[in-house]
Amino acid sequence: MSKSIEVRGQPVAGGKEPLICTPLVARDEPSILRELAVVCAKHPDLIEWRVDFFAGIADSARVVALAREIRKQAGSVPIIFTRRSTREGGEPIGIAEEQVLSLYRAVCETGCVDFVDYEINGEPQHFQAARQAAHHAGAQLIASFHDFQQTPPAAEIVAKLVTMEEAGADIAKVAVTPRAIDDVLTLLGATLAGSRQLRLPIISVSMGPYGSLSRLFGWTFGSSVTFAVGDKASAPGQVAIEDLRIVLDILRRSLAAK
């Protein structure tokens, strides 16, 4: 089973397996706040703001102000702040990496976010800068890797997770793309192996139609978080939060009865 994720020393959602995270992907303030209202009404365990979708990302003051408002409206739901790069499936943003890191520092300093996501395949000094920004503000760092072309061999996936742990991440995340149903098994096997080897919580995702299976029962192999659609999807294969909860309830009851 998966490891629990904590915020300020307390397990999120009482340590429930898995945590359900819903994304915010709208492009301006009114649209994001409308999206947030829809998402919050569905009571996710985590909310991820994909700031690379936000048209005002180059304006630090706008981002910080919106982060404060998201925090206010989300109440006690923990928030993940994520800029996804174009090389790993994100939106073009038109600002340099140093500006991205300045944005991370500014948002972290507000205390409005509980986690920041930063890609492990970037420059090592940039990864460490993101880590320092998070930890200085009492937030946690999710190290991430996304492959929209294929599913690497299980050994490579586990090695990537180990690299994240060694780099000082608090949570390790991988998302890969299956070309065939067998690839989903590869991801699940790597998740199980990684969860046994690492001390960190793991988030693993197989994307696309085949990959939706991993979103339903990947937690039984050690993935601590699954992503669901609250209003709009942020990646292929995400299912509606209502449908996901039905399946999770069935699986939890079945496992409890073993």
Spell out where the chain has E strands: 6-7, 10-11, 19-24, 46-50, 79-82, 115-119, 140-146, 171-176, 202-206, 225-229, 239-240
Annotated catalytic residues are: 146, 173
Phi, psi of 149 (to 5 degrees): -105, -35
Q: Which residues contact 134 (CB under 8 A, 6 or more apart)?
A: 104, 108, 115, 116, 140, 141, 170
**What is the distance between the alpha carbons of residues 45 and 28, in angstroms, rounded to a whole number?**
24
Cβ-based burial of 235 (10 A; exposed 0-12, middle 13-18, buried ≥19): buried
Q: Read out DSSP for 128-140?
A: HHHHHHHHHTT-E
Are the C-beta atoms of residues 26 and 232 closer than 8 Å to each other?
A: yes
